[in-house]
């Protein structure tokens, strides 16, 4: 299957700082990338959908000024959590969709802890 | 009615048995169906995709699709303890403005007992 990388795999930051997470599709081009978050023992929650070269579409209840998404190329999307607070601590997972058959592959995730 | 429904489990099967996971979906226009496996603390991994009615086999996994009944299933033959995970059923649905979104069920937790 296709490979999606994510960096960093885990990060600890202080409250009020910003954190950037990178997501790359390594062996395919992805016109559409997705960002999810997942709390322990809960379902995946879609945060936003991004298409290369255009603004991200955020799900209801997700603050677009807090979670900045940039999809600058067909292989790279970034999520920046601005002014992070402890309640932002979660498992953030990116996903990229291939051109054909709508197959969607997930990165390994980034575990964010805000102290 | 939830868009994608799965029995949350846990489903326990003995090692070597067949595990059967089921999923129903509400959007009759759905065309693409997927099964993901998610180990605890890890991200989902795509294990099967199916687009046409009938069966699709890949190693120990068989996906079955019945669009008339709006039903998708995953069979795991010769279940191994390493198959213990949460299995997510996912369906592509049209979300408007030319966009298609993957909708997940809540997942079925499978436990394979040695």
Q: Is the pLDDT of residue A1 over 80?
A: no
Residues 6+ apart with CB under 8 A from B28: B67, B70
Are B113 and B101 in contact by the 8 Å Cβ rule? The answer is no
Evaluate whether B62 touches B41 at the Cβ level (below 8 Å): no
Q: What is the mean pLDDT of chain A?
A: 93
The shortest C-alpha distance from B74 to chain A (Å) reads: 17
Measured distance CA(A3)–CA(B50) in Å, rounded: 20
Determine the residue among A102, A106, A107, A110 to mutate to test chain B binding: the one whose Cβ has the most chain B Cβ atoms within 10 Å.
A102
3-state secondary structure of B99: strand
Chain B residues within an 8 Å CB radius of A95 = 102
Tens-place pLDDT, residues B32-62 = 999 999 999 999 999 999 999 999 999 999 9
Which run of H or of E encompasses B61? Answer: strand B61-66
Mean per-residue pLDDT for A19-26? 96
């Amino acid at each position: 299957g296709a490979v999606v990388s994510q960096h960093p795999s885990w990060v600890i930051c202080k409250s009020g700082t910003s954190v950037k997470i990178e997501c790359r599709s390594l062996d395919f081009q992805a016109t559409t990338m997705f960002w999810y978050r997942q709390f322990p023992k809960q379902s995946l929650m879609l945060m936003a959908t991004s298409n290369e070269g255009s603004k991200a579409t955020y799900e209801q209840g997700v603050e677009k000024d807090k979670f900045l998404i940039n999809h600058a190329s067909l292989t790279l999307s970034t999520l920046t959590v601005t002014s992070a607070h402890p309640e932002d601590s979660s498992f953030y997972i990116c996903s990229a969709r291939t051109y054909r058959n709508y197959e969607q592959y997930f990165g390994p995730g980034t575990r964010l802890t805000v102290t | 009615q939830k868009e994608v429904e799965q029995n949350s489990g846990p489903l326990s099967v003995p090692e070597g048995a067949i595990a059967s996971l089921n999923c129903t979906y509400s959007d009759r226009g759905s065309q693409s169906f997927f099964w993901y496996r998610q180990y605890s603390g890890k991200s989902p991994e795509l294990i099967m995709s199916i687009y046409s009615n009938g069966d699709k086999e890949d190693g120990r996994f068989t996906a079955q699709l019945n669009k008339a009944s709006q039903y998708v299933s995953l069979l795991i033959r010769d279940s191994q303890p390493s198959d213990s995970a949460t299995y997510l059923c996912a369906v592509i649905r049209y979300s408007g403005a030319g966009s298609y979104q993957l909708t997940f069920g809540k997942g079925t937790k499978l436990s394979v007992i040695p």
